A and B are shown apart, each in its own frame.
Chain A
Amino acid sequence: MGDLFLRDFFDIVGLSISIGLTASAIAAAVSLPLGAALAIFSFRGRRLLVVLVNAFFGLPPVVVGLAIYMALSHSGPLGFLHWLYTPAAMVVAQATLATPIMAALVHRASERAWARYGDELISDGASHAQAIFQILHIIRADLLTAVLAGFGRTISEVGAVILVGGNIRGLTRTMTTTIALQTSQGELALALSLGVLLIGISISISATIFALAGSARSAGNDEI
């Protein structure tokens, strides 16, 4: 085999990016408030939750993939969704992997900001729930790092997405699963050039988000 058709190529790159961004967006929606809340609210079991979030930072993708595979299997509890071997399953897997990474990084930054500005925010009359947004606003530069770290995990991951997506041509084949397939066909040069391209795309997306954030910051003229 080895001939990578142009249409396939655009499918593959497009899917990698859209799945990575969707999973990162979902992970951010969960982990930004979660990370800040863990710093602001004190409740029983908080310490345990913080330890868990940090431990899941290094969640093994293949285990996450297997658990999601079994859950989404027709004979599993979520089989009725018919998500196995579709992009939806891959988004679930990647969002699961990215969430603890983002949450742990947001929590660390929030903890520092809360120690410094917490009393001030509360005496200004903010409720704890409102404080979540204010803390997130204060640490917005750190949010960027957190979200990009999570995104990096999603776009570079192969173990989980190949399990739950099945590496189906034109449907669930991403850049990483294509690299795995090309390697198994002995097309090492092609696999490596695709790998270089994947790194290039990662860098461009990170750079774009940095640039957008930079211009937003100078336009907003906020204190950091």
Chain B
Amino acid sequence: MMKFRVQLALATLLAANHPPAIAAEAIVLASTTSVENSGLLANIVPQFTATTGISVHVVAQGTGKALDTARRGDADLLLVHDPDAETQFMKEGHGLTRRQIAWNDFILVGPSDDPAHVRGGNDSVAALKAIATVQAPFVSRGDNSGTHTAELRLWKMAGLDPGVENEKWYRDIGGGMGQALNAASAMDAYTLTDRGTWLSFNNKGALVIAVENDPRLINRYDIIELNPKIHAGVKLGPAKVFADWLISPEGQQAIGAYRMNGERLFNPSAGMPE
């Protein structure tokens, strides 16, 4: 028994020293739950790894947490979507370059019986006001992510602050995009989501798109390389190769080609005016 246990321990220790799929070079990409939950990175990263041999380890967090991970020096590259927080990050000197690689848009989704009567519109701010007026349940990410700050900007434009006023119908779940959609689906609530996660989400229940095509709902994704003067441990070389690939015609083509049920989730946008 004792001998067996020792052998078992040794065998498993050896196994742990050889984790699967360690390539010659690997970078840690801190990213958002929307690009992970939508399946985009799982689709395009293997294409990149096949041509360059560089592995990309994707850690999916909200944008706020991803930026903090990079601030601590625990990521080599960032793919995020919160313009204001990114500007702050660059101002602090953590970033070297910030380039837009893709865009899609946020949409307001809600229950098909539509208690706030906002369905079919394209004015997201008016829709939030209507939701607040009838006190229809609204799920907020509440996790300092890009989608969460976009939602807070819209509430501000509406002149409301249900989170601070602790309204009962405003449900702050503190979770990722998929978690918020699961919650909204379960409690027949409205929520703001990026279109990519929505299209690939498979538990919509009674949820339908309520408001879309509002210019205020544009959602841009940026790739940020880190400043080696602050983050000496960062693998700047291979990180730059991946960043440049995303901008390149090949990378842009891969992003644009990713579809779910025939619909494009992310529009390539490198070099587009801001």
User: CB within 8 Å of B: which of A194-224?
Assistant: 212-213, 216-217, 220
Tell whether A185 pairs with B200 under 8 Å between CB atoms, given A73-B74, A171-B57: yes
- A193 at interface by CB-CB < 8 Å: no
Is chain A's binding surface mostly helix, strand, loop or mixed? helix
- A74 at interface by CB-CB < 8 Å: yes
Q: Is there an interface contact between B1 and A216, defined as CB atoms closer than 8 Å?
A: yes
User: CB within 8 Å of A: which of B62-81?
Assistant: 72-74
Q: Is there an interface contact between B72 and A75, defined as CB atoms closer than 8 Å?
A: yes
User: CB within 8 Å of B: which of A1-60?
Assistant: 1-2, 11, 14-15, 18-19, 21-22, 25-26, 28-29
Q: Is there an interface contact between B15 and A22, defined as CB atoms closer than 8 Å?
A: yes
Tell whether A166 pairs with B57 under 8 Å between CB atoms, given A22-B15, A25-B12, A73-B72: yes
- B201 at interface by CB-CB < 8 Å: yes
The segment from B100-108, B121-129, B132-140, B175-183 that touches chain A is B175-183
- A187 at interface by CB-CB < 8 Å: yes
Contact code string B21-32 (vs A, CB < 8 Å = 1, else 0): 110000010000
Tell whether A167 pairs with B202 under 8 Å between CB atoms, given A1-B39, A25-B5, A185-B37: no
Name B203's contact: one of A15, A26, A186 (CB within 8 Å): A186
- B60 at interface by CB-CB < 8 Å: yes
Name B201's contact: one of A14, A87, A170, A185 (CB within 8 Å): A185
Interface residues contributed by chain A, number (CB under 8 Å): 44
B-chain residues with CB within 8 Å of residue A187 when the two chains form the complex: 202-203
Contact code string A145-184 (vs B, CB < 8 Å = 1, else 0): 0010000000000000000001111111000000001011
B-chain residues with CB within 8 Å of residue A62 when the two chains form the complex: none
Q: Is there an interface contact between B9 and A184, defined as CB atoms closer than 8 Å?
A: no
Q: Is there an interface contact between A25 and B19, defined as CB atoms closer than 8 Å?
A: no
Nearest neighbor of B201 in chain A, beta-carbon distance: A186
A84 to B42, CA, bound (A): 21
State how many angstroms separate the Cβ of A145 from the closest Cβ of chain B. Answer: 14
Contact code string B17-49 (vs A, CB < 8 Å = 1, else 0): 001111000001000010011110010000000
State how many angstroms separate the Cβ of A153 from the closest Cβ of chain B. Answer: 16
Nearest neighbor of B198 in chain A, beta-carbon distance: A186
A130 to B12, CA, bound (A): 28
Interface residues contributed by chain B, number (CB under 8 Å): 41
Contact code string B205-243 (vs A, CB < 8 Å = 1, else 0): 000000000000000000000000000010000000000
User: CB within 8 Å of A: which of B162-195?
Assistant: 176-179, 181-182, 185
The tally of CB-CB contacts under 8 A between chains A and B is 115
State how many angstroms separate the Cβ of B78 from the closest Cβ of chain A. Answer: 14
- B8 at interface by CB-CB < 8 Å: yes
Tell whether A186 pairs with B204 under 8 Å between CB atoms, given A85-B59, A216-B4: yes
Name B13's contact: one of A22, A188, A220 (CB within 8 Å): A22
- B58 at interface by CB-CB < 8 Å: yes
Contact code string A81-107 (vs B, CB < 8 Å = 1, else 0): 000111110010000000000000000
Nearest neighbor of A14 in chain B, beta-carbon distance: B20
State how many angstroms separate the Cβ of B236 from the closest Cβ of chain A. Answer: 14
Tell whether A140 pairs with B15 under 8 Å between CB atoms, given A166-B59, A168-B59, A186-B202: no
B-chain residues with CB within 8 Å of residue A183 when the two chains form the complex: 178-179, 182
A-chain residues with CB within 8 Å of residue B185 when the two chains form the complex: 186
Tell whether A73 pairs with B73 under 8 Å between CB atoms, given A1-B37, A168-B58: yes
A75 to B232, CA, bound (A): 11
Q: Is there an interface contact between A87 and B200, defined as CB atoms closer than 8 Å?
A: no
B-chain residues with CB within 8 Å of residue A84 when the two chains form the complex: 74
Q: Is there an interface contact between A86 and B19, defined as CB atoms closer than 8 Å?
A: yes
Q: Is there an interface contact between B73 and A168, defined as CB atoms closer than 8 Å?
A: no
A184 to B141, CA, bound (A): 13
User: CB within 8 Å of A: which of B81-120?
Assistant: none
A67 to B198, CA, bound (A): 34
A-chain residues with CB within 8 Å of residue B233 when the two chains form the complex: 74, 79
Could you jot down 22 A-B contacts, CB within 8 Å?
A2-B39, A15-B20, A18-B16, A28-B5, A28-B9, A73-B73, A73-B74, A74-B73, A75-B72, A75-B74, A87-B16, A88-B16, A170-B20, A170-B21, A171-B20, A171-B55, A172-B57, A181-B37, A186-B181, A186-B182, A186-B202, A188-B202
Ranked nearest first, the 10 interchain pairs of A and B with the lowest CB-CB distance are A184-B178, A186-B203, A1-B39, A25-B9, A74-B73, A166-B59, A186-B202, A21-B12, A22-B12, A168-B57
New A-B pairs, 5, CB < 8 Å, besides A22-B16, A171-B57, A183-B182:
A21-B12, A171-B20, A181-B36, A185-B39, A186-B202
